[in-house]
A and B are shown apart, each in its own frame.
Chain A
Amino acid sequence: MIAANIQLQKPGFELRAEFEVPAAGVTGVFGPSGSGKTTLLRALAGLEAGVTGNLVVSGAHWLSGSHSMSVQERLVGFVFQDPCLFPHLTAMGNLLYARNRAKNSSYQIDLEHVCEMLNIHDLLNRKAGLLSGGERQRVAIGRALLNRPAMLLLDEPLSAVDQGGRNYLISILENIFQHIEIPIFYVSHASDEIARLAENLILMNQGRVIAHGELKQVLGKIDTPLNASDEAFSVLRCTIKSHQLPYLTTVQTAGGEVLQVPRQPLEGDSVVRLRIRARDVSLSLQRAQESSILNILPATVVALSPEIQQGTRTVKLDVAGDSLLARVSEYSVQQLQLQPGKAVFAQVKSISLVG
């Protein structure tokens, strides 16, 4: 378990973070820019001076009262937004720099294996300055791994990478995260990255932790600032069923509801995650006939967000056991008389299959 109750006072900014997450798997740290995500990560690493409070990681006191473990003692791997390769060394030199200083003896990691996972074999003899953004970030991730960290911290690692490189890097990260058994904190403001990679979620806003816990549980909390905004989204775990319809793949939710998504080159029975933006879901009282919308699901209203932003509310729905969020206007809420327990049809305009 990782338990934190930390504070940091900086000019014009205050961090107050209290959370508890399992010391395994990927914890996403999500929030708008300026909400303190990076500062939280830096505080976990010990890179911020003046942090007070308590931080316990798997029984070890990284911070308690005035005693603070040094950066070096914490054995964290930190991947910054900007890859920050050492410019006077080659890619290989950067990897060896980390490997030669690795102090953690609780597991081994093979240089060859790391290069293979990150596909950086061909880059090893090049100086950092001669690599593209995506290549540099891959080497930086390899460097962090070869130091055999006890915890991996990634601060928007995809932000310095172009769109094509992003998709590639995210699939590499997904693979790595499945193979290493250390806690990982992944900071992002992109909901598709969070939906794809995170198992747990810490929601941040204005320097505070708003909610923390298992991903779906946190996303399902109706009263968070995230869910009061247009950024609200849901994640559904589905199983691939068939490829019978033209251009489409049929998937099934845990509760048995069927959805059509753009054709995927995936085999039957593989498990995928869907991210559905709340603003792509609309509600009606009757099932629309002959509609261009493919996915219309029977649902029950569970709750409505207490806050109305720009005349719009978030409605939490139950779709055969899964929770789904919809953004609808307050006018429609009144017209359709939406209230908990009401049966509706959710029309899903767009789904992205994230992994």
Chain B
Amino acid sequence: MLSADDLSAFVLTFQLAGVSTLILLLLGTPLAWWLSQTRSRWRSPIEALIALPLVLPPTVLGFYLLLSISPSGPIGSLLQALGLPSLAFSFWGLVLGSVIYSLPFVVQPLQTAFSSINRQLLEVSATLGAKSLDRFLSIVLPMSKIGYVTAIVLGFAHTMGEFGVVLMIGGNIPGSTQVLSIAIYEHVESLEYGQAHWLSGILLVLSFAVLLVVYTTNRRGFKVSAP
């Protein structure tokens, strides 16, 4: 059955996925909105940048992140100058990595949902006296429910399954940075196949359930790009 370390890996993984998803929504909403409305020439480069984690090996991403959060890197030295603790091998370091790694999984469904809203509806709303925040909350948000469900589920599930980035920047500290995917790897390395079966089985069932939710809510043919 599950050891104490396995359980804490579970808790940590869900905490990480939950916090990352929340941050992703706060960050992804304005970003996806801007991308869906803008005609700026910066749109394509920024879209490409956001989509990078879809094609890049997670270890590459993790490597650059590790460099930048190390005491001599830009983020690391900034944090040091502000007197804040280092992100390397910490929970918040993992959050940073997860947010970057899962960004396309949140931004893309939101952007698709926002782009499909008829602009004239927003014009009607403006003539009725609604300012931009009001328009967003009263028209855009309720009309993008499916996009949000997809974004939340994919963001959460993708963070739950990450391995490479975590290994590079978080290491493998049980109870502190050891997440499920790494715990499984550990078990296999130590030939503890029984433990590995348990954790893998639970992850498999959970991920399937999550995707089932996405595809049943999105029966109207919402396309999600996956690596």
Residue numbers of A with Cβ under 8 A of B are: 45, 47, 71-72, 75-78, 80, 82, 84, 86-88, 97-98, 101-103, 143-144, 147
Chain A residues with CB under 8 A of B138: 97
Contact A98 B121 (CB under 8 A): no
B123 within 8 A of A: yes
Take A47-B123, A84-B120 as given contacts and tell me if A147 and B143 are in contact as well, using a CB distance cutoff of 8 Å: no
Q: Interface residues of B toward A: which range?
A: 10 to 19
B26 within 8 A of A: no
Interface centre among B121, B129, B131, B138 (most CB of A within 10 A): B129
B128 within 8 A of A: yes
Chain A residues with CB under 8 A of B120: 80, 82, 84
Query: Could you list 16 further interchain pairs (A-B, Cβ under 8 angstroms) beyond the known A86-B125, A87-B121?
Result: A47-B127, A71-B123, A71-B126, A72-B126, A76-B127, A77-B127, A78-B124, A78-B127, A84-B121, A84-B124, A87-B143, A88-B142, A97-B125, A102-B129, A147-B127, A147-B128
A sample of 14 cross-chain residue pairs with beta-carbon separation below 8 angstroms, ordered by A number, consists of A47-B123, A47-B126, A72-B130, A76-B127, A78-B123, A84-B120, A86-B124, A86-B139, A88-B139, A98-B128, A101-B128, A143-B128, A144-B127, A144-B128
Residue numbers of B with Cβ under 8 A of A are: 118, 120-121, 123-131, 134, 138-139, 142-143
Contact B118 A101 (CB under 8 A): no
Pairs of residues from A and B, 8 with the lowest C-beta to C-beta distance, nearest first? A101-B129, A78-B127, A71-B126, A88-B142, A98-B128, A147-B128, A84-B124, A84-B120
Chain A residues with CB under 8 A of B139: 86, 88
Chain A residues with CB under 8 A of B130: 72, 101
Take A86-B139, A88-B143 as given contacts and tell me if A147 and B129 are in contact as well, using a CB distance cutoff of 8 Å: yes
Q: How far is the CB of B61 from chain A (nearest CB, A)?
A: 38
Chain B residues with CB under 8 A of A72: 126, 129-131
Q: How far is the CB of A141 from chain B (nearest CB, A)?
A: 12
Contacting A45 at CB < 8 Å: which of B121, B125, B127, B129? B127
Chain B residues with CB under 8 A of A144: 127-128
Interface centre among A75, A87, A144, A147 (most CB of B within 10 A): A87
Contacting A86 at CB < 8 Å: which of B121, B129, B131? B121
Take A47-B123, A78-B123 as given contacts and tell me if A84 and B129 are in contact as well, using a CB distance cutoff of 8 Å: no
Interface centre among A45, A78, A144, A147 (most CB of B within 10 A): A78
CA distance A4 to B128 in the complex (A): 23
Chain A residues with CB under 8 A of B126: 47, 71-72
CA distance A147 to B142 in the complex (A): 21
Q: How far is the CB of A115 from chain B (nearest CB, A)?
A: 18
Interface centre among A101, A102, A103 (most CB of B within 10 A): A101
Chain A residues with CB under 8 A of B124: 78, 80, 84, 86, 143
Chain B residues with CB under 8 A of A86: 121, 124-125, 139
CA distance A315 to B186 in the complex (A): 96
Q: How far is the CB of B40 from chain A (nearest CB, A)?
A: 15
Q: How far is the CB of B71 from chain A (nearest CB, A)?
A: 49
Chain B residues with CB under 8 A of A147: 127-129
Chain B residues with CB under 8 A of A143: 124, 128
Please name the residue on chain A nearest to B145 by beta carbon. A88
Chain A residues with CB under 8 A of B128: 97-98, 101, 143-144, 147
Please name the residue on chain A nearest to B121 by beta carbon. A84
Please name the residue on chain A nearest to B126 by beta carbon. A71
CA distance A101 to B134 in the complex (A): 10
Chain B residues with CB under 8 A of A101: 128-130, 134
Interface centre among B120, B124, B125, B128 (most CB of A within 10 A): B128
Contact B129 A103 (CB under 8 A): yes
Chain B residues with CB under 8 A of A103: 129
Chain A residues with CB under 8 A of B134: 101
CA distance A295 to B131 in the complex (A): 57
Q: How far is the CB of A160 from chain B (nearest CB, A)?
A: 12
Please name the residue on chain B nearest to A103 by beta carbon. B129
CA distance A101 to B125 in the complex (A): 10
Please name the residue on chain B nearest to A73 by beta carbon. B129
Please name the residue on chain A nearest to B131 by beta carbon. A72
CA distance A77 to B126 in the complex (A): 10
Interface centre among B121, B126, B127, B142 (most CB of A within 10 A): B127
Chain A residues with CB under 8 A of B127: 45, 47, 71, 76-78, 144, 147
Interface centre among A71, A77, A147 (most CB of B within 10 A): A71
Please name the residue on chain A nearest to B142 by beta carbon. A88
Chain B residues with CB under 8 A of A98: 128
Contacting A84 at CB < 8 Å: which of B118, B131, B142? B118
Chain B residues with CB under 8 A of A75: 129
CA distance A143 to B125 in the complex (A): 10
Interface centre among A77, A88, A143, A147 (most CB of B within 10 A): A88
